[in-house]
Structure 1
């Protein structure tokens, strides 16, 4: 996996602020409903200044998606690296997936709502670079979960099954939450995490 090298953030760079504002806007109002000029207003810059960092609103969206996939992969690796027991590793991975900030919730909502964007080639070289990197990361994340299950099956902790199919099913269950979960809703994320953790263990171990 080749990661995109992030541009150096000098003291006057607005890139991080633009990404933060875009996540807030895209996650709250929706990508299609958000005007590019609204992001500029939140940052306190003119709209033309946005193009110094992102050549289009889509370029910014793809960057957000790629960064979220990197974060998810890194969180999985960090959470499970020292856990030897496969069942506990599965539980730990699920809990880590929901150990997130409100801003990260928005990032994951954006990612899940626009996964279809990764399927088609982009004409812009910069957009295409972000799309390809994001697609590669999707494969890495799927492989993370598949390998966790393969390890459990090889040790006899999980019944022998199609690990790739089962891994995709587990991951699909986990990420489906971000399409409907709202921090202001009646169900706390900790309760959702506990519910999904139990469901994943039953799905894999029974």
Structure 2
């Protein structure tokens, strides 16, 4: 169901998608879909949670490799773009619809899903903030506000998903190289 929701939200847009569209795509009635999701927002929040958990997992795997900080930064930035095609749509949805996490939901399950998704977004920010603060402590980058820098880095990295389309004018590998070089420079990592 989340794969069908990802396709619909990513291709048609969240606002233009109805739960009935998703139900039809998976071959069930709309009423049956309500067994899984209280609302379209509940479905969206679940999708954001799954995406952010995977992002956190990839982050943790890179950190667990115990790389030198500069190399860890480089690997994490590159890895932001080296994702499967279905993650491209999901990333676009997360970036485009993340603002919905700011407003309380109506139903109990929907609100629980919203809070969980919001917590995973905050966890991702905290991951980057901790890494960047450590890089500052090691002298890899100059001291500055790690929270603000983490948000700036995430903003730069996520901006791609607004306009990138698979098979378009540039491939993910090329984007990865382009943004890695410039993001490292932006945060102050020496070449």
TM-score range, shorter chain: over 0.9
Equivalent positions of 1:93-108 (< 5 A) are 93-108=76-91
Given that 2:79 and 2:176 are in contact with CA atoms closer than 8 Å, whether structure 1 keeps it comes out as no
Counterpart in the other structure of 1:61:
44
Given that 1:80 and 1:92 are in contact with CA atoms closer than 8 Å, whether structure 2 keeps it comes out as no
* Structure 1 residue ranges without an equivalent (≥5): 1-17
* Structure 2 residue ranges without an equivalent (≥5): none
Deviation digits for residues 66-87 of structure 1 (CA, Å, limit 9, x no counterpart): 1111111111111222233111
Are 2:99 and 1:116 aligned?
yes
Counterpart in the other structure of 2:10:
27
Deviation at 1:158, TM superposition (A): 1.2
Equivalent positions of 1:77-96 (< 5 A) are 77-96=60-79
Normalised by the size of structure 2, how large is the TM-score? 0.95
Distance 1:149 1:86 in 2: 9
Counterpart in the other structure of 1:8:
none
Deviation at 1:156, TM superposition (A): 1.4
Matched pairs, number: 189
Given that 2:92 and 2:161 are in contact with CA atoms closer than 8 Å, whether structure 1 keeps it comes out as yes
Counterpart in the other structure of 1:188:
171
Are 2:49 and 1:72 aligned?
no
Counterpart in the other structure of 2:27:
44
Distance 1:84 1:151 in 2: 13
Counterpart in the other structure of 1:199:
182
SS at match of 1:197: helix
Distance 1:195 1:89 in 2: 17
Once the two structures are overlaid, the 10-residue window that deviates more, 78-87 or 36-45, is 78-87
Distance 2:181 2:146 in 1: 18
Distance 2:147 2:38 in 1: 37
